Amino acid sequence: MTFQGLVVTGASRGLGAALARRFAAPGVRMLLVARSEAPLREVAAGCGSRGAAVSVAALDVADAAALAAALAAFESGGPVDLAIANAGIASGTAPDGSPESAGDAARVVAVNLLGAMHLVGPLLPGMRARGAGSVALVASLAGLRGLPDCPAYSASKAGMIAWGEALRAAESRRGIRVTVACPGFFESAMGDRFHGWKPLRLTTEQAAARVEAAIRAGRGRLAFPGPLAWLARLGAALPPGIGDRAVRGMRFRVRSE
């Protein structure tokens, strides 16, 4: 499946930047969104060198009004047929062992979950009117079974999964495809802030290749790598006491951004 108009959030680095580069091609219009303007423009330049016409919006996806305005301006030049909600932050148990604060937890949910809604919501009317469009939500295996040292991150990704599943069920009859991607560990600046055991860690490009393939194929679900996805699902299905003991082996300390 090919796309002519797309938006990627969290596009200044990591998986978002890799996905932007993979979808960049002649004849493609792109809006790249992230908070940090300088690295965002570097990614845009790389996408432009591949033939794409690239616009950037340096803003916080938690700011619904600012994102809606940027989307409206971009849509005035043509329809959006792919929206990739990738922007994300994390907090958790600090290096000194103190738990995440209520303020940090709220901020994680505002960016990861509400930010995805702020992206997709304004674009749905156009997709519905055209009877076509694709949405990709980058969640996490942590959303399948919450991890004790990153509760807000786990909650935000679980919310993305549930919202994405509901959105797909509601919108597929209108021709809108929704892909919910749940990656495990892969190389990224955010991942480097997590200090702990990271089994089966992939490179950023390996993760991006899997997500890209799922989006182009219109897959509803993607969870990888397979062994970790299986263990996450098993952990969620176990009785709470047993499941809790199992995930206590996945302990992290999360360095501040």
Residues assigned a catalytic role: 153
Q: Which residues contact 31 (CB under 8 A, 6 or more apart)?
A: 6, 7, 8, 54, 55, 56, 57, 70, 71, 74, 80
Instruction: Output the domain CATH number for residue 142.
Output: 3.40.50.720
Taking only the tens place, the pLDDT of each residue in 100-144 is: 999 999 999 999 999 999 999 999 999 999 999 999 999 999 999
Query: Whole domain around residue 191: which residue ranges?
Result: 5-254
Calpha distance 18→11 (Å, rounded): 8
- Pick the closest to residue 12 from 20, 3, 2, 22 (CA basis): 20
Cβ atoms of 60 and 33 closer than 8 Å:
no
pLDDT confidence tier of residue 165, bands split at 50, 70 and 90: very high
pLDDT tens per residue across span 11-43:
999 999 999 999 999 999 999 999 999 999 999
**pLDDT-based confidence at residue 200 (cuts at 50, 70, 90):** confident
What total number of domains does the chain contain? 1
**What is the DSSP secondary-structure string of 158-184?**
HHHHHHHHHHHHHHGGGTEEEEEEEE-
